[in-house]
Amino acid sequence: MSHHTFYPKGVCSTQIDCDIIDNRVYNLSYQRGCSGNLQAIGKLCEGRTVEELVTLLSGIHCGANSTSCSDQLATALSAELEAAKNAG
């Protein structure tokens, strides 16, 4: 199991935590932000692959913002994919 903590930018949430096990995301949680929506995102993401979530969540905007809590998760997961690819 690999626990990850991300610090989103440009959104209400201040921290994203999740476990990545065999390239699947589990136990996704956000600190701060729109509680109901973020709990729903956590449940909907549970067990999905990192690649699937990057594809599904990239480019989602929140109001007039150029990003969202979902998009920030996709950005963080994409960076994790790139790091894993470069590591070997």
- Tell me the pLDDT tens digit for each residue of 27-70: 999 999 999 999 999 999 999 999 999 999 999 999 999 999 99
Neighbours of 28 (CB within 10 A): 22
Q: What percent of the chain has pLDDT over 70?
A: 99
Q: Tell me what pLDDT residue 60 has.
A: 97
Please report the pLDDT score of residue 76 as a whole number. Answer: 97
Question: At residue 1, does pLDDT exceed 80?
Answer: no
Q: In what order do the strands lie in the sheet with 24-31?
A: 2-6, 15-21, 24-31
Rounded-to-integer distance, Cα 78 and Cα 57, Å: 11
SS3 content of the chain, % helix, strand, coil (to 5): 45, 25, 35
Looking at every residue in the chain, the average pLDDT score rounds to: 96
